[in-house]
Structure 1
Amino acid sequence: MIQRVDLHTHSTASDGQYRPAELVRLAQKAGIECLALTDHDTIDGLSEAVRAGEETGITVLRGIELGASEDRHLHIVGLGLREDCPEMQALCQKLKDSRDERKYRIAAFLEEKGVGIPLSEVEELAKGGVVARPHFAQVLLRHGFVSSTREAFDRYLDTSEYKRIERYKADAVSCISVIHASGGKAVLAHPCQLHYEPERLEELVRRLKEQAGLDALECYYPEHTPEMVRNYLDLAHRYDLHVSAGSDFHGEKVHADRPLCPVSVETDWLLAET
C-alpha cells in the first residue's frame, strides 16, 4: 500500500510545540494519511495521539526517537510499538532520569558562559515533558541572549565545550533490540546529519543490519538533497531495508524549517501487524 506519510514528528511530550492531539489534527490538514509520533526518549504522548487518530481517521503509529551513544547525531527511530511495551518503558525511565539530572548541569554550564536563565522557566516551557536542549534554546532567545534558536545551538548547545555535559544513552544495537522487543521496526534516522563519508555510512548500515536487524532507512528528510535521496534509496536497496520518510516536525517556533511534509511511500511493512 502506498500512503502519504510523515514518520518522524515530535510533540510536547518531548521538545515539540504542539500537544499530541494538536499534532494529529495538523497532520490531517497537511494531507497525511499515516503519522508516527516519535518523541525523544519517551512514549508518554502516544495514547493521546492514537485517540486523536481514531477521531480524525488518520493512522497513527506509536513511535519513539532514541539517541545512540556512538555519535550524538546517530538516532534510531522506532515505529509501530505495542501499547504494552515494558522493555521500552524501562529504557525511557532510565533516559528520563538521566535527562532530569542533566538539566541542572546545562543551567550551570550556561551560567558559566554568562547567559544564566531561570531553570523554572525552561521546565515550564517543557510542560511536564522531557526537558531538552530546544527548551533552553527558546528561553535563551526569549531573554535576548541570542537572535534565533539556531544561534543558541551554534554558540552554546552544540559546541565542543558542551559535549562534556553528557547523559546516558544506549548504543545503537541496544536501541534496535529494545524497539524490536517492543514490537516495533527500527529506522536509521536522518543519515545526512552524521556527515559520514559514503563508505563509513555504508559500514554503519551494514553493522546495524547484520548485528541488530535494522529495518529501514530514513531516505526522505528535509535536509536531504535530491542526490542524497538517490544515494540513500540505493543504499536501502543494497541492504534490503525499507524506505522511511519524516519531517522531524517540532513546530514552527522550534524548527521553522521543518514543516509537516507528507511523502508517498509503501507502508505494508509497518501496518501488517498494527
Structure 2
Amino acid sequence: MRLRADLHTHTTASDGQYTPRQLVCRAQAAGIGCLAITDHDTTGGLEEGLRAGAELGLTVIRGVELGAKEDRHLHILGLGFGAEHPALEALCRTLQASRAERKFRIADFLREKGMDIPLAEVEALAGGGLVARPHFARVMLERGYVSSLREAFDRYLDTEEYQAIERFKAEAKDCIAAIHADGGKTVLAHPCQLGYPDEKLEALLARLKEVGLDALECHYPQHTRAQTAWYLKLANMYGLHVTAGSDFHGERVKPDVSLMPTELELDWLL
C-alpha cells in the first residue's frame, strides 16, 4: 500500500501550535493520506486526532516521540501501537513527571542569564499540554530577550551548559522495548540532527537494529539530497523500512517547516 504520508508531526498535546483536529484538517488540505501524530512523551492528543481522521477520511496513526539518553539528538518515534498501550503510558508518565520538574530548573537557569520568564506565561502557551522548551523560547522572544526562536535555542536552550539541567530520558533500547510491547513499530528520527560521521551513524544503526529498530526516517526537511541517498542506502543495508516526516510544529514554532506529504510503502505499518 502506497500513500502520501507524513509520519512525524506535533500538536498542542506537547509543543505544537495546532490542536490534533486542526492538524488533521491541515494535513487533509496538504494532500496527506496518512498522518502520524507523534507528540513528545505523550499520547494525549491521539484520540482527538483519530476521530478527526475518521470524519475526514484520512488515516491517522497513533504515534509518540521519545528522546533517548545516549544523545540529546537521538529520538525514537513509536508508530502504530494499540489503543491500549500500558508500557508506553508507564514510560510517558515517568518522562512527564521529569518534564514537570524541569520547567522550574529552566526558569532558574534563564533567571541566572538575566531573563525573567514567568512560568505562568509559559504554562499559558502550553495550554494544558506538556511544558517544553519551545514554550520558553516563545516567551523569551515576546519579552525581547532574543530576536528569534533559533537564537533562544542556540544561545540558551540547546547548549552544553543547558544539558546539566535536562530531564530524565530512557535509553534507546528501553524506548524501543516499550513501543514494541504495545504492538508498535520504531523509527530513528531525523538522523541528520545527530551530526555523526558516516561510520558512527552506521555503527549506531547496527546497535539499534540489534535491539529491534524497525525503520529509518530517510526523508526529512533538513536532509540534503546526498544525506537522503545515504540514509536510503543504510535502510537497505540494515533491512529497515523507510519513513518520511516533516517534524511539523506549526509556523509559530518552526516557521520554515511545512507538512510534507511523501509517497511511502506502508504495508509494514498499516
Matched-pair identity in %: 65
Partner Cα separation in structure 1 for residue 166 and residue 147 of structure 2: 26
For the residues of structure 2 that align with 1:216 and 1:80, how far apart are their CA atoms? 13
Structure 1 residue aligned with 2:54: 54
Q: How many residues align?
A: 270
Give the TM-score, by structure 1 length: 0.98
| Segments of 4+ moved more than 3 angstroms | none
- Which residue number in structure 1 is paired with residue 68 of structure 2? 68
Q: CA deviation at 1:183?
A: 1.0
Deviation at 1:116?
Answer: 1.3
> 1:220-257 CA deviation, whole Å, 9 max, x = no partner?
00000111010000000000000000000000000011
- The Cα shift of 1:214 comes to 0.5
Superposition TM-score, scaled by structure 2 size: 0.99
Alignment partners' CA distance in 1, 2:213 and 2:144: 43
SS in 2 for 1:233: helix
**What's 2:12 paired with?**
12
Q: State the distance in 1 between where 2:202 and 2:116 align.
A: 42
Deviation at 1:81, TM superposition (A): 1.3
The CA distance in 2 between the partners of 1:208 and 1:112, in whole Å, is 38
Aligned counterparts of 2:130 and 2:193: Cα–Cα separation in 1: 22
Distance in 1 of aligned mates of 2:243 and 2:264: 7
1:105 corresponds to 2:105: yes
Q: Which runs of 5+ in 1 are unaligned?
A: none
**Cα displacement string for residues 132-165 of structure 1 (whole angstroms, at most 9, x for unaligned residues):** 0000000000111111100100111011211111
User: One-letter code of the match for 1:234?
Assistant: K
Residue equivalent to 1:137: 137
**What amino acid sits opposite 2:240 in the alignment?**
L
Gaps of 5+ in 2: none
Question: 1: distance between equivalents of 2:14 and 2:125?
Answer: 11
1:170-224: CA deviation from partner (whole Å, max 9, x where unpaired): 00011000010111100000000000010000000000101x1110000000000
SS for the counterpart of 2:268 is helix
- Counterpart residue number, 2:181: 181
Distance in 2 separating the partners of 1:16 and 1:180: 26
Give the equivalent residue in structure 2 for 1:44: 44
What is the SS of the residue equivalent to 1:9? coil
Partner AA of 2:47 in structure 1: S
Give the Cα–Cα distance (whole angstroms) in 1 for the partners of residues 140 and 111 of structure 2: 12
